[in-house]
Structure 1
Amino acid sequence: MSAAERTLEDHVASASRRIVIAFPFVGDKLGGSHISATGLIAGLDKEKFEPLIVVHKQGQVLERFLQERGLSVTLAPEVDILSPLVGRRLIGGFSAALAHLRTTARLVRFLRTHSIDIVHTNDSEMHATWALAARLAGGKLLWHHRADPLAQGVNILAPLLANHIVGVSKFVRPARPLLPIEHKFTVLHSPFDHPGTQLDREACRRNLAEELLLPFNTRFVGYVGNLVERKRPMAFVEAVHAFHRRYPDFALSGVLFGCSPPNKPDLGEMIRTRANELGISNRIHLLGFRTPVAPCMSALDILLVPAVNEPFGRTLIEAMLLGTPVVATNHGGNPEAVDDGTTGYLVEPEKPDAFVAPMARLLLDRPHWDEISKTAMAHALIKYGNKAHIEGISRLYRNLVPSR
């Protein structure tokens, strides 16, 4: 074979090779971004794309979640996991700067060893840790933004280093980017699995009442998500209290499914204390993280979302897909998901009392509850699904690595 023929053969082999995408995660947390990324990874066309899931901490919650879904992980090199706060200290800290250089050098070697074409980062720590390494290794960086539009990383680091930025809603678009991003910012809503069969909602509700040793006529409103300040779990407790002030004889309990993330303040005890102060400790139940979430969500009469600056909460759409009406704050990405009065209700943020009127209408008017439930489910089934998200991200991958 001549040199020209070998060159042509190598070129054809390179052009037909699958695009290799690295998905780095810390591994000690499991939240909406991890669930979304898992749905994407599982749904990618494996004839065109080769995903490599990389974790910094093995044997923890994320790896177990992935293994249950038949997905394997690769251990990242031993490096310092950075954060935006660490990044700010690099200017004044020589030792921190050296640590960052060591981290970047090791990750560059890792990316080149695995022939990574694209690094797809999904949270602030992975953005900060992998962004520079991705570009120095000769790869592309897809920055998936699910947080505050004022976050420093997406306004400073992403415009400099990201080849493309994906936002989960219009709300999260970087508010003060260091460089123009119009040419490289796309909104793609997170993927959602459509439930195969609807659960027996009444059976789910009775099971929850039995677990909590409550009368079977108890109705439930719920909070689903991490117990963090931005999601306002305390406001959920105060909304339940406000409802009971107005309807003291109504058998309603509030249940919180979720827990405080590692290295964050434990809000569970604060929630219990607040419920006790309000005299509704017997009406508030913290049930921790649950999976699968569908039976929990189906047991609820209403999902309350008191969060502020919520980029695009997964729980809103998951509730709609299961037929659970939603009452959410008119803030963040919530208005992009809820059509007020049609597929749910939007209320003024930071005012727990504002939840009472829509809660009462849904709990006391069953035909209206049925109408909201059916309309929201039909809307969610049409608008939100894995297919559109996977096709959108796949298109971005092909645009980033056109030679494939």
Structure 2
Amino acid sequence: MNAPLPRLTSADAAGDKRLRICFPFSGDSIGGSHISVRGLMEHLDPALYRPIIVTEVPGGMIANFFARHEQLDDPAAHGLFVPGEAFTLRKFGRTLAGLLPRARFLRRNRIDIVHVNDGRSSANWALAARMAGAKLVWHHRGDPGALGLRLLAPALASRVLAVSSFALPHKGLWSARDRASVVHSPFDTSLEVDRAKARDALIRELGVSPDTLLLGYFGAFVPRKRPLLFVDMIARLKGLSGRPVMGLMFGEARLPVMDVALRRRTAEKGVGDQVKLMGYRTPGPFWIAACDQLVVPAVGEPFGRTLVEAMLVGTPIVAARSGGNIEALEGGLGILVEPDDAEALARACEGLGDTRPMALAAQADARSRFSEAAHATKVSAIYEALRPCAKEQ
């Protein structure tokens, strides 16, 4: 791996005429937004743009993930949000305390655009960006009913990017909808995995018969993604399928209470031998390719990465008819069933016949719609629309 680029200084910022774009990240865990931003940065024209990552934890997971890219430390990292922490006056106070240091930081480094990619980063940096005179690109990857998107984005965002039509701000008198665009998340569309070899490796690891139906759940074990519903579906399949079934759950619980609930549900349904917790694994596309089907029971999911990765590697998909799932699988590229219906999911998984035509169509569609180059082109056009008419000398 190449060494990190030198950190930005006030002096070299003043002599650099490229558009300077700051990507601040809160916390120190890696998710889809980090993968998307890294793909974007690697496709931006270096003659026009100077992207800079800002991290709360020097030398942490996020800093290492972007090790080949220019980085600066958050000047107010003491105000970081804690995942799962309730919104309190104390939490609000920590955010306010970081406003002036962050605004000074942006002015000192002559940042033109602050591009935020998650709710915590938006809360920490949105007002600071506007105080510093920088443009704010609010990249929304969550529920359209999110508090920040509804209340703060209309006042502070120069542009809103939504990962799907579902994630767009709702229309209304107080809304950022008129400044919003749909920009699908980027993917490495050159991705190729030998599914037969991947499946053989998984069969050997599990020690099951080759005729076993391997159904994969991929993602964090959080309520929105419906991990308990996946377990219920496997229990239904025990009585439907004429072949052995394994439900493979790739991911981890973010809170201990979900881990306890998942293990309890598995025991209650009597599927301890059919449901296996696989943990977080990388590269994800290899394990998706190893499964016979990807099952996406999530409700209100703006736009799932694993769903598109399944399309790219040719794994058939059964998903809830909800959120961004509908947009990704439009035109019969997967099987959509009613949300929160374990029986419907089970019957769809069992009833899939020859999936090759559907999988090939989904693969071709994903390669045309979700490339990193296409994503960078759309985002660059937005940056250009926000470019100052004349740079300060």
Give the letter for the 2:74 counterpart: A
In the other structure, the counterpart of 1:202 is: 196
Q: CA–CA distance in 1 between the matches of 2:186 and 2:262?
A: 31
Q: Which residue of 2 aligns with 1:79?
A: 78
Deviation sequence 1:359-379 (CA, Å, 0-9, x none): 1222xx3xx211111111111
Q: Report which stretch shifted further, 389-398 or 180-189.
A: 180-189
Identity of aligned residues (%): 39
2:258 aligned residue (248, 267, 279): 267
Deviations 1:359-404 (A, max 9, x none): 1222xx3xx2111111111111122211221111111111112426
The answer for the alignment partner of 1:253 in structure 2 is 246
Q: What is the rounded CA distance, in whole Å, between the counterparts of 1:100 and 1:216 in structure 2?
A: 54
Match of 1:224 in 2: 218
- Runs of at least 4 residues off by over 4 Å: 13-16, 82-89, 95-98
The CA distance in 2 between the partners of 1:87 and 1:232, in whole Å, is: 22
1:156 is the counterpart of 2:151: yes
* In structure 1, C-alpha distance between the alignment counterparts of 2:173 and 2:58, rounded to whole Å: 36
User: How far, CA to CA, are the matches of 2:59 and 2:16 in structure 1?
Assistant: 35
- 2: CA distance, partners of 1:259 / 1:153: 27
Partner of 1:6: none
- 1:178-197 matches, within 5 Å, as 179-196=174-191
Q: Alpha-carbon deviations, 1:162-221, whole Å to 9, x = none?
A: 11111111111222656243431111111111134x322111111112222223332311
Structure-1 separation of matches of 2:135 and 2:294: 39
2:323 counterpart residue number: 332
Question: Considering only aligned residues, what root-mean-square deviation do their CA atoms show, in Å?
Answer: 2.3
* Distance in 1, Cα, partners of 2:173 & 2:147: 10
Cα distance in 2, alignment partners of residues 269 and 149 from structure 1: 30
The answer to whether the Cα contact below 8 Å between 1:258 and 1:287 also exists between their aligned partners in 2 is yes
Match of 1:291 in 2: 282
Partners of 1:76 and 1:138 lie apart in 2 by 18
Other-structure match for 1:304: 295
Q: Distance in 1 between matches of 2:322 and 2:334?
A: 14
Q: Deviations over 1:236-294 (max 9, x none)?
A: 111111111212x4122111111123xx3452332222112111111111111111112
Q: State the partner residue of 1:401.
A: 387
SS at match of 2:66: helix
Instruction: Tell me the equivalent position of 1:5.
Output: none
How far off its partner does 1:27 sit? 4.3
Determine if the alignment matches structure 1 residue 237 to structure 2 residue 226: no
For residue 64 of structure 1, what is the amino acid of its counterpart? N
Q: Does 1:101 align with 2:96?
A: yes
More helix by share: 1
Secondary structure of 1:28's counterpart equals coil
Q: Which residue of 2 aligns with 1:350?
A: 340
Q: Which moved more, 1:109-118 or 1:207-216?
A: 207-216
Task: Assess if the C-alpha contact under 8 Å between 2:231 and 2:247 holds in 1.
Answer: yes
Note the 1:349-368 alignment, pairs <5 A.
Answer: 349-362=339-352, 365=353, 368=354
2:356 maps to 1:370: yes
Over 3 Å counting, the alpha-carbon distance change for 1:83 and 1:163 in structure 2 is farther
Q: Work out whether residues 257 and 286 of structure 1, in 8 Å CA contact, stay in contact via their aligned partners in 2.
A: yes
Amino acid at match of 1:220: L
Unaligned segments of structure 1, at least 5 residues: 1-12
Q: What's the TM-score once normalised by structure 1's chain length? A: 0.87
Number of positions where the alignment pairs a residue of Structure 1 with one of Structure 2: 377
Residue 165 of structure 1 aligns with which residue?
A: 160
Match of 2:372 among 378, 381, 386: 386
- Go from structure 1 to structure 2 and tell me whether the alpha carbon gap of 1:179 and 1:381 turns closer, same or farther (over 3 Å shift): same
Runs of at least 5 residues in structure 2 that lack an aligned partner in the other structure: 1-12
Shift of residue 82 of structure 1?
4.7
Distance change >3 Å, CA 63–CA 283, structure 1 → 2: farther
Structure with greater Cα Rg: 1
Equivalent residue for 1:139?
Answer: 134
The C-alpha deviation readout for 1:44-96, integer Å capped at 9, x for no partner, is: 111111010111123433333333xx33532212331258999964xxx4x66
**Aligned residue in 2 for 1:26:** 26
Alpha-carbon distance in structure 2 between the residues aligned to 1:282 and 1:400:
56
- Which letter does structure 1 place at the counterpart of 2:247? G
Residues 1:29 and 1:115: Cα distance change in structure 2 (over 3 Å) = same
Give SS of 2:50's match.
strand
Q: Does 1:35 align with 2:35?
A: yes
Residues of 1 paired with 2:370 and 2:91: CA distance? Answer: 43
Q: Cα 1:213–1:58, aligned 2, differ >3 Å: closer, same or farther? A: farther
